[in-house]
Amino acid sequence: MRLVGPSGEQVGIVPLAKALELAQEYDLDLVEVAANARPPVCKLMDYGKFKYESAMKAREARKNQAHTVIKEMKLRPKIDPHDYDTKKGHVVRFLKQGDKVKITIMFRGREQSRPELGYRLLQRLAEDVQDLGFVESNPKQDGRNMIMVLGPHKKKTEAMAEARQAQEARKADAKANPGKSQNPAEAEAPSEEPAEA
* Alpha carbon distance 50, 32 (integer Å): 13
CA torsion sign for 59, 60, 61, 63 is positive
Interaxial angle between packed helices 81-96 and 115-128, expressed in degrees from 0 to 180 and rounded to the nearest 10: 50
Is 189 domain-assigned?
no
Is 5 part of any domain?
A: yes
Tell me, yes or no, whether 48 and 75 share the same domain. Answer: no
- Maximum CA extent, the chain: 100
Contact 56, 41 (CB under 8 A): no
Q: Does 89 fall in a domain?
A: yes
Number of separate domains in the chain: 2
pTM (two decimals): 0.53
73 and 145 fall within a common domain: yes
**CB neighbours (10 Å) of residue 100?**
19
Among 13, 28, 62, which residue terminates a domain? Answer: 62
Do both 58 and 131 map to the same domain? no
pLDDT 10s digits, 4-61: 888 888 888 888 888 888 888 888 888 888 888 888 898 888 888 889 999 998 888 8
Domain boundary among 35, 62, 89: 62
**Please, which pLDDT band fits residue 183 given cuts at 50, 70 and 90?**
low
Q: Do 39 and 2 belong to one domain? A: yes
83 and 53, same structural domain? no
Last residue of a domain, one of 14, 42, 62: 62
What confidence score (pLDDT) does residue 63 get? 75
The parent domain of residue 10 ranges over: 1-62
pLDDT for res 189: 47
Q: Tens digits of per-residue pLDDT, 108-149?
A: 988 888 889 899 999 999 999 988 889 988 999 888 999 999
Beta strands in the chain (DSSP E): 2-4, 10-13, 29-34, 41-45, 70-75, 100-106, 133-142, 145-152
Flag whether 107 is in a domain: yes
The answer, yes or no, to whether residue 196 has pLDDT greater than 70, is no
Within a domain: 173: no
Task: Mark whether 54 and 121 lie in a shared domain.
Answer: no
